[in-house]
Amino acid sequence: MPVRPLTRLALCLTLAALSGCTATDPQWHPDPVAAPAPSGTAAVAPLASTAPSPSASASASPPAPAGAPRAALAVGVRTLKFSRGGRSLPTTVWYPATGRAGGSPKANAPVAPGRFPLVVFSHGLHGLPAYYEQITRRLAAAGFVVAAPTFPSTNRDADPFNAGDMGNQPADVSEVITRVLKLDTTSGDGLRGHLDAAHVAVGGHSAGGFTSAGVLANKRDTRVRAAIVIAGGSMGAFKGARTPVLFVHGDKDPTVTYQTGRNAYTGTSWPKGFLTLLGQGHGEYLGPSAKGFDQVMKTMTDFLRWTMYSDAAARSRLSGDGTKSGVSKFEARW
Residue by residue, pLDDT tens for the chain (334 residues) are 333 333 333 444 455 444 433 322 222 233 344 333 333 333 333 333 333 334 333 334 455 567 899 999 999 999 999 999 999 999 999 999 999 999 999 999 999 999 999 999 999 999 999 999 999 999 999 999 999 999 999 999 999 999 999 999 999 999 999 999 999 999 999 999 999 999 999 999 999 999 999 999 999 999 999 999 999 999 999 999 999 999 999 999 999 999 999 999 999 999 999 999 999 999 999 999 999 999 999 999 999 999 999 999 999 999 999 999 999 999 999 9
pLDDT value of position 67: 84
DSSP alpha helix (H) spans, the chain: 8-19, 133-141, 169-182, 207-214, 258-266, 293-309, 312-321
pLDDT value of position 20: 39
CB atoms within 10 A of CB 289: 10
Q: Are β-strands 145-149 and 87-97 bridged in parallel, bridged antiparallel, or unpaired? A: antiparallel
- Determine phi and psi for 142, rounding to 5 degrees: -90, 0
Produce one character per residue of 132-161: b if its CB has 16 or more CB atoms within 10 Å, e if not.
Answer: bbbbbbbbbbbbbbbbbbbbbbbbbebeeb
pLDDT value of position 63: 56
Question: Is residue 19 within 8 Å of residue 232, measured between CB atoms?
Answer: no
DSSP string, 267-319: T--SSEEEEEETT--SSGGGSTTSTTHHHHHHHHHHHHHHHHH--HHHHHHHH
> Rounded to whole angstroms, how far apart are CA atoms 247 and 265?
7
pLDDT value of position 11: 41
DSSP alpha helix (H) spans, 84-165: 133-141
> Rounded to whole angstroms, how far apart are CA atoms 265 and 332?
10
Question: Is residue 132 within 8 Å of residue 121, measured between CB atoms?
Answer: yes
Per-residue pLDDT tens over the stretch 199-231: 999 999 999 999 999 999 999 999 999 999 999
CATH superfamily, domain at 72-333: Alpha/Beta hydrolase fold, catalytic domain (3.40.50.1820)
Q: Are β-strands 87-97 and 245-250 bridged in parallel, bridged antiparallel, or unpaired? A: unpaired
User: pTM of the entire structure?
Assistant: 0.85
Residues 6+ apart with CB under 8 A from 325: none
Question: Is residue 196 within 8 Å of residue 116, measured between CB atoms?
Answer: yes
> Rounded to whole angstroms, how far apart are CA atoms 184 and 77?
16
